[in-house]
């Protein structure tokens, strides 16, 4: 069963082009991609010297709660 919030949005996992990963809540894959692009363009205006990240559209996928937990565990292992 795919992981959903009370708004009916799915949790999408995705990779960044060039490495790394993240997640975003959205109703559709297209909406998830647009949301990530919009949020990062705002971030880039605020912090123009930071790395410019772009999501890999092909990697975006709805996940189960267990898949979400696995990704978080991997992230913690890589950073600690």
pLDDT at 68: 97
Question: Is 79 a residue whose pLDDT tops 90?
Answer: no
- The long-range contacts involving 20-25, CB below 8 angstroms and separated by at least 24 positions, are 20/53, 21/71, 21/75, 22/55, 23/63, 23/68, 23/71
Residues 15-65 pLDDT 10s = 999 999 999 999 999 999 999 999 999 999 999 999 899 999 999 999 999
pLDDT at 3: 98
**The two three-digit tokens of residue 35, written as one number:** 């949301």
Q: Name the pLDDT band for 78 (thresholds 50, 70, 90).
A: confident
49 to 16, 19, 46: CA distances (angstroms): 18, 19, 9
The pTM assigned to this predicted structure is: 0.90
């Amino acid at each position: 069963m795919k992981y959903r919030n009370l708004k009916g949005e799915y949790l999408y996992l995705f990779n960044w082009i060039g490495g790394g990963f993240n997640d975003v809540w959205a109703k559709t894959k297209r909406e998830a991609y647009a949301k990530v692009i919009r949020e990062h363009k705002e971030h880039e205006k605020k912090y123009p010297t930071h790395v410019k990240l772009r999501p890999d559209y092909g990697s975006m996928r709805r996940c189960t709660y267990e898949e979400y937990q696995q990704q978080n565990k991997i992230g913690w292992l890589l950073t600690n």
